[in-house]
Amino acid sequence: MGCTYTIVVYGHDRQALSKTVNAALDEVDRLDRLMSHYKPESPLSRINREAAQHPVKVDRELFDFLGECLSYSRESFGAFDITVGPLMKAWGFFRGEGRMPSKEELAEARSKLGYQHVTLNKTAQTVSFDKPGVELDLGGIGKGYAVDCAAKILKQQGIQIALISAGGSTIYGIGAPPESSDGWELMIQDPLDHEKIATKVLLKNRVLSVSGSYEKFFELEGKRYSHIMDPRTGWPVPNMLSVAVLTENGTAGDALDNVFYVLGIEASKIYLRKLPNTQVIFFLPDQNKRWQMIQLKGPKQ
Query: Are 205 and 69 members of one domain?
Result: no
Same domain, 172 and 254: yes
* Domains held by the chain: number: 2
User: Per the domain annotation, does 6 fall within a domain?
Assistant: no
For residues 147 and 266, membership in a common domain is answered with yes
If asked whether residues 98 and 236 sit together in one domain, one would say no
Question: In this structure, are residues 247 and 253 in contact, taking their beta carbons and an 8 Å threshold?
Answer: yes
283 close to 242: Cβ distance less than 8 angstroms: yes
Residues 221-234: what's their mean pLDDT?
88
Judged on CB neighbours under 10 Å (0-12, 13-18, 19+), 157 is: middle
Q: CA nearest 171: which of 114, 278, 253, 242?
A: 253
State the CATH number of the domain containing residue 105. 1.10.3980.10
297 phi, psi to nearest 5 deg: -135, 145
Identity at 265, one-letter amino acid code: I
Q: Of the candidates 86, 101, 129, which is a domain's last residue? A: 129
Q: Is the predicted pLDDT of residue 17 greater than 90, yes or no?
A: yes
Say yes or no: 169 and 195 in one domain.
yes
Same domain, 175 and 211: yes
Asked whether the predicted pLDDT for residue 198 surpasses 90, the reply is yes
Give, rounded to a whole angstrom, the gap between the first and last alpha carbons of the chain. 32
Partnered with residue 1 across adjacent β-strands are none
Residues 273 and 171 in one domain: yes
Report, as an integer, the average pLDDT of 198-223: 88
3-state SS class at 218: strand
What confidence score (pLDDT) does residue 72 get?
94
Q: What is the DSSP letter of 186?
A: E
Is the pLDDT confidence value at 264 over 80? yes
Q: How confident is the model at residue 266 (pLDDT cuts 50, 70, 90)?
A: very high
Same domain as 293, residue 153: yes
Give domain status of residue 257, yes or no: yes
Q: How many CA atoms does the CB half-sphere of 243 hold within 13 Å?
A: 25
- Does the residue 89 lie in any domain? yes
Assess if residue 194 is contained within a domain.
Answer: yes
Task: Look at residue 3 and tell me if it is in a domain.
Answer: no
Average pLDDT over residues 77-94: 90
The answer to whether residue 18 sits within a structural domain is no
218 found inside a domain:
yes
Q: Are residues 163 and 284 in the same domain?
A: yes
Taking all residues of the chain, what is their mean pLDDT, rounded to a whole number? 93
Report the share of the chain in percent with pLDDT over 90.
Answer: 79
Tell me which amino acid residue 185 is. Answer: E
pLDDT at 98: 86
Judge if 146 and 125 occupy the same domain.
no
Q: In a 3-state reduction of DSSP, which class is residue 255?
A: helix
Q: Give the per-residue pLDDT at 216.
A: 78
Locate all alpha helices (DSSP H) within the chain, ordered by sequence. 14-35, 43-50, 60-75, 85-90, 103-111, 142-156, 250-272
Give the end of a domain, one of 83, 102, 129: 129
Is residue 179 domain-shared with residue 289, that is, in the same domain?
A: yes
d(CA 69, CA 99): 27
Asked if residue 10 belongs to a domain, the reply is no
For 236, the domain range is: 142-297
Contacts of 297 (CB under 8 A, 6+ apart): 272, 278, 279, 280
Looking at 99, 129, 159, the residue that finishes a domain is 129
pLDDT of residue 167: 87
Q: Mutual orientation of helices 142-156 and 250-272 as an angle, nearest 10°? A: 120
Q: Do residues 112 and 153 share a domain?
A: no
CATH number for the domain that contains residue 190: 3.10.520.10
DSSP 117: G
Higher pLDDT, 37 or 134: 134
> How much is the pLDDT for 1?
67
**Residues, the chain, total?**
301
